[in-house]
Amino acid sequence: MKLAMNVCFSLLHVLAGIFLTAQGGFAQTPSAKAQIVFLTLNARAVSILHLRKGYVTSVRLPEEISSVVLGDPSAFKAEHSEAEPQLVFFKPITGKAAETNALITTRTGHEVSLSLISDSRGTEPVDYVLEYLVARSVLIGSDAPGFVIAETKGLNQPAEPGESESKLVENNLQRLLREQQAQDRHWQGKDLKLSVGKSFYSRSEMTVAFSVRNSSSEAIELLPPQVQLTRQAKKKSPVVKAEQIPVKFFRLTSTNLQPGARADGVLVFERPSFKESQERLFLQIAHAEQVDRPTLAAIAFVPQTKGDSR
């Protein structure tokens, strides 16, 4: 009997140890904060991809992928299938903090450089999706409606002690988006209405808040916002030439709008250092069924104040 009781006590100790170990393991792997990132394809830039063990990240390119090369295949895994020629999947295969680079080559010869960072502490957001966009030039008829330049405002609030620059940028974007959502806007356009809100300019980058409203009787799917620098081709010409400005980042509260619904967003783009007197900067929004009929709203080239918080 005594031997049986000792065996029972030993078994309980083992089970308790296993339970406590499992609890500790769960506590060390909190749920990841997900984020979806959109970037303009740029062969001269290196994109940072935040990963975590137990999660897979997809990278979508606008062209078919021909090869994927990893710097450290012992710490990361890359998967590419011909069934999804524009997608490549990355995931870490170690629970330790790791970092390496990856190079993606498309069938047309473009190269995309990535810096893969695996977070072992679980403090950084995880990039669930990274989608690359391509800037495209468009021609716009001269019968486009008039535009109103919205108020601009600098977000040059100082950082709190110990606050990182990336966190400060994120806070500025969130604050700008909240302000945009809380205000009634001056709308441009007919069925697809667009309004440009506050903006700030810092370190050659411009951040702009905007809103979109579906005033049609049907549901629509929004395309990624674009920025363009327009100028008259010739005197009295019916065509306006538009130079596409790469959008580095954007965020929208929704891309699918029911009739009467509204979406708010922010975008960041590299503002040209100068322009001609006849050139104007515009935000362009279109939906999937009428890509040739976008709605435009002017962006003030020089905000009232510059933001030094970024």
Contact 130, 59 (CB under 8 A): yes
pLDDT score recorded for residue 165: 53
d(CA 279, CA 302): 13
DSSP string across 215-280: -SSS-EEBPPPEEEEEEESSTT-SEEEEEEEPEEEEEES-SEE-TT-EEEEEEEEE--S---TT-E
d(CA 290, CA 221): 10
The CATH T-level fold of domain 34-133 is Immunoglobulin-like (2.60.40)
Q: Selecting from 1.10.10, 2.60.120, 1.20.1440, 2.60.40, what CATH number does the domain 138-298 have?
A: 2.60.40
Percent with pLDDT over 70 in the chain: 70
Residues of the chain predicted below pLDDT 50: 2-3, 5, 7-9, 11-12, 14-16, 18-29, 136-163, 239, 308-310
Question: Which residues belong to CATH 2.60.40.1080 in the chain?
Answer: 34-133
pLDDT score recorded for residue 162: 43
pLDDT score recorded for residue 241: 67
pLDDT score recorded for residue 237: 54
pLDDT score recorded for residue 214: 92
Contact 83, 28 (CB under 8 A): no
Look at the chain and count its residues.
Answer: 310
> Distances in Å between the alpha carbon of 164 and those of 175, 199, 250, 310?
16, 22, 21, 10
